[in-house]
């Protein structure tokens, strides 16, 4: 024992902190009561009883609408998911990624397939379950000048792997969080798994709703797409708006398109538009040998009675046409009186793919005696391919267009992994340095199942 001023210290064993000991006892007792209550009533029941959110298993996935004020549950799955992805499912996903622009990543029970498309701002990322079924797809169609996504969305899938809900987004922040929501689309399917209706909501609250109807032939080809459905009752449309109707041959190739003014209840056309139509013909090998654009159509039968122009193609031993004859003028009986003759030449890469195509307009006749003009109008095509031989990019330069414009206007198209149009630009005015001053842009995105997801509108 020693004396140090006003305090006396004695060495009589350890000094006990009574307040600290009491606090620790209280914590131990509280933990024990918590554990007992959880065991007796269940963890989720106990958490709910004290005002906390329940703990969800990994297999129960909640995707929340980040743009709505309220927390809206978009999709819930209660299917048990194995702890690790199925190796066969992972291999199938890896088959989707055959180049450096696509990657597969698996973490625990979720795999993601992320794909970028060079030359465009388009990017999509699809999340798959361990069984290889898609759960969600995030995508971006275009970016602003700062590199931030300025148009995209998220698609949510049902347990069978089909799109159930699509939520579009107009503006994002730098973290990729949606700041301004676009419309929301719910998909309805028929018994064959084809989309029969789309419910399009103007916003997340569905304050304004539009239904779009679809129809298919016996082979699953879409004969009617996105026709307005009026007065939906018990899942059926009482009437329809105007739209296009299509026909196909036995090989699934499109043979005609007509505009329909009035549809029957089964979505066959009751009255055709008299002013527009297109037709295609193919040979026994599936090569396109004829195309025409109609200016007059019989309202009852849909038969083309007058044409704006038609094209007949001639082939040699290859799969591409060697020449073509355009008919651009007709007499009163529909006989061709004005023709344009084209020839084609091709260049090939080391894998046998067409790398360049040149189209020459060599002759034009108006039907007037002695009026035959030889021209030197050239269109140049430049094509790129991926390692599988699928087209990724085509640029068509149209030089020496009638009217004296010496600069080449151009049409440029990028394709997705299944040869579908992804991004198309038709530039009608080009600057001296080759930049597009005026043009039309079209964007199209398909999901991994081939469903048309967004068109950028």
pLDDT at 87: 87
Q: What DSSP line would sit under 209-259, residue for residue? A: EEEEEEEE-TTS-EEEEEEEEEEEETTEEEEE--EEEEEE-TTS-EEEEEE
* Alpha-carbon dihedral 371, 376, 379, 380, rounded to 10 degrees: 160
Q: What percent of the chain has pLDDT over 70?
A: 78
pLDDT at 25: 63
Q: Which residues are paired to 222 by β-bridges?
A: 216
What is the CB-side half-sphere exposure of residue 333 using CA atoms within 13 A? Answer: 2
Question: What is the average pLDDT across 297-311?
Answer: 95
Question: What is the average pLDDT across 122-139?
Answer: 93
Q: Higher pLDDT residue, 325 or 68? A: 325
CA 16, 22, 27: angle at the middle one, nearest 5?
130
pLDDT at 433: 77
pLDDT in tens, 196-234: 999 999 888 888 999 999 999 999 999 999 999 998 888
pTM surpassing 0.95? no
Q: Which residues are paired to 296 by β-bridges?
A: 306
Residues for the chain: how many in total?
457
> Of 7-11, 335-339, 405-409, 431-435, which range is least confident?
7-11
pLDDT in tens, 395-416: 998 875 544 455 678 899 999 9
Dihedral angle sign, alpha carbons of residues 448, 200, 234, 64: positive
CB 376 within 8 A of CB 360: yes
């Amino acid at each position: 024992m020693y004396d140090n001023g006003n305090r006396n210290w004695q060495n009589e064993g350890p000094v006990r902190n009574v307040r600290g000991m009491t606090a620790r006892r209280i914590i131990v007792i509280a933990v024990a009561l918590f554990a007992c209550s959880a065991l007796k009533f269940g963890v989720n029941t106990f958490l709910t009883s004290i005002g906390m959110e329940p703990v969800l298993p990994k297999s129960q996935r909640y995707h929340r609408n980040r743009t709505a004020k309220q927390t809206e549950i978009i999709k819930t799955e209660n299917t048990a998911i194995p702890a690790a992805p199925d190796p066969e499912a992972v291999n199938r996903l890896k088959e989707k990624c055959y180049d450096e622009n696509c990657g597969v990543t698996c973490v625990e029970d979720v795999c993601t397939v992320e794909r970028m498309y060079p030359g465009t701002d388009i990017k999509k990322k699809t999340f798959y379950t361990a069984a290889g079924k898609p759960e969600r797809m995030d995508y971006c169609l275009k970016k602003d000048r700062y590199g931030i996504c300025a148009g995209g969305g998220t698609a949510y899938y049902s347990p069978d792997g089909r799109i159930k809900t699509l939520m579009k987004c107009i503006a994002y922040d730098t973290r990729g969080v949606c700041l301004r929501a676009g419309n929301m689309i719910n998909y309805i399917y028929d018994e064959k798994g084809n989309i029969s209706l789309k419910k399009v909501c103007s916003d997340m609250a569905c304050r304004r709703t539009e239904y779009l109807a679809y129809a298919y032939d016996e082979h699953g080809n879409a004969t009617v797409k996105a026709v307005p459905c009026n007065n939906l009752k018990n899942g059926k449309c009482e009437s329809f708006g105007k739209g296009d109707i299509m026909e196909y041959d036995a090989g699934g190739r499109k043979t005609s398109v007509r505009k329909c003014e009035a549809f029957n209840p089964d979505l066959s056309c009751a009255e055709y538009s008299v002013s527009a139509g297109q037709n295609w013909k193919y040979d026994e090998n599936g090569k396109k040998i004829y195309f025409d654009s109609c200016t007059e159509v019989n309202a009852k039968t849909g038969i083309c009675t007058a044409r704006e122009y038609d094209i007949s193609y001639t082939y040699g031993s290859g799969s591409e046409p060697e020449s073509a004859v355009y008919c651009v003028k007709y007499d009163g009986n529909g006989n061709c009186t004005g023709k344009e003759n084209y020839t084609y030449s091709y260049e090939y890469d080391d894998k046998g793919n067409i790398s360049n195509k040149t189209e020459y307009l060599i002759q034009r006749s108006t039907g007037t005696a002695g009026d035959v003009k030889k021209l030197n109008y050239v269109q140049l095509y430049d094509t790129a391919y991926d390692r599988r031989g699928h087209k990724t990019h085509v640029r068509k330069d149209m030089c020496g267009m009638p009217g004296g414009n010496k600069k080449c206007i151009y049409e440029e198209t990028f394709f997705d992994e299944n040869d579908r149009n992804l991004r198309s630009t038709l530039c009608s005015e080009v600057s001296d340095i080759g930049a597009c001053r005026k043009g039309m842009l079209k964007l199209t995105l398909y999901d991994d199942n081939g469903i048309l997801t967004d068109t950028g509108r």
